[in-house]
Amino acid sequence: MEDTVPKSLQFLDIGELERTAFEGALADAGHERFRARQIFRWIYRHGVTDLEAMSDLPRELRTTLAADFTLTTPDIVTRERSTDGTEKFLLRLADGRQIESVFIPDTPATTFCISTQVGCAMACAFCLTGRMGLVRNLTAGEIVGQVRVLTAALELRNTAFNIVLMGMGEPLHNYDETMKALRILADDHGFAVPPRRVTLSTVGLLPALERLAREPIMPNLAISLHAPTDLQRGALVPINRTYGVADIIEACKRFPLKRRNRITFEYVLLAGVNDSPTDARKLATLLAGVKAKVNLIPLNAAAGIPFERPSDDAIDRFAKTLSERGLTVSVRKSRGRDIRAACGQLIVEGQRKSPGQQLSATAFAD
């Protein structure tokens, strides 16, 4: 069982509350419900975290807020800037655990890469985060808190931005808190981030994926596929032994999409493992009948990852093979590699769990 945040750290923490829940808490304390909208605007639009500084609130309400509510915000431990403008933030949570978040400028829009867990239980063979194991889930407030910290540090509160849930962790393994965070982010009185500006990346936890298909707030979907067959994918993505390639593809065919939308299939290219023309042809056959686009990600090599990046010729050949078979293909430009901020490179040392504390694949079935 993963660590959990003590409930005392979440009790009446405004950062953990959706606006409707906050309205109810204020009403229970004898205050007007509409004050929640004002406070949300202070926190999310203006970046004010000092409850006493919310000057248009009655003094009595500010006294109540100071006495009965809190607003927990992650602290910046370090901030590194890449030569390409990417920035990586190491953030400390209220219990001392640490996570990483990434700012990626001009992709083509401003993008925040946000974590949903401390570590990750998926143990993908090419990902450093998986070496940590799962330490614990993040709360909704900790997920949204990353966005609050980044917008303040980068002075981007008045700038439209995209969010990719592609940092540390598997978002659908922390389903309830992730979806709660997306509702908070989408609130019209807060950041007002529409679902079309959010992309959720998952290895394909099928029960959670089916729940996601019924959500009123539905982000863009990216499936971390990485191989066209069960034999190959099972060696790279252990959860494939529970939810196979065919099952994932069938779920994607059923997933509700708007007319112009597609599901992105992410495919990390590993030299000599999954980058041959035969692999590309198998992938094209697999995705036939799916409203799909393929995002090829040449491996971001790092110490501890037992694979190599394919040659540029191999990457181009793979992309051309897919394109010739009618698939929309892009090759992701690696950002922040020099500060270990690229895809698969996020890891916080010293927070790994022992093997006995890891969750088995069967734990994802419910």
Q: How far is CA 358 from the centre of its chain?
A: 21
- Cα–Cα distances (Å) from 43 to 17, 46, 53, 188, in that order, read 12, 6, 11, 13
Q: Which fold has domain 75-353?
A: TIM Barrel (3.20.20)
CATH class of 8-68: mainly alpha
Distance CA 62, CA 224 (A): 46
Rounded mean pLDDT for each run of 10 residues along the chain, 366 residues in total: 45 92 95 96 94 89 90 96 92 96 87 96 91 95 98 92 96 98 97 96 96 95 98 96 96 89 96 97 96 94 86 96 96 67 57 48 44
Burial class (CB in 10 A: 0-12, 13-18, 19+), 107: middle
Q: What pLDDT shows up at residue 359?
A: 46
What pLDDT sits at residue 256?
93
Could you tell me the residue ranges of all domains in the chain? 8-68, 75-353
The pTM of this model reads 0.91
pLDDT of the residue at 352? 55
Catalytic position from the list 2, 16, 100, 266: 100
226-259 burial string, b = 16+ CB within 10 Å, else e? bbbbeebbbebbbbbebbbbeebbebbeebeeee
Closest to 274 (Cα-Cα) out of 240, 243, 242, 247: 240
Point out the catalytic residue in the list 113, 124, 252, 343.
Answer: 343
> What distance in Å separates the CA atoms of residue 279 and residue 192, rounded to the nearest whole number?
41
- Does residue 35 contact residue 106 with C-beta atoms inside 8 Å? no
Read off φ and ψ for residue 120, nearest 5 degrees: -160, 140
Residue 100 falls in the annotated catalytic set = yes
343 in catalytic set: yes
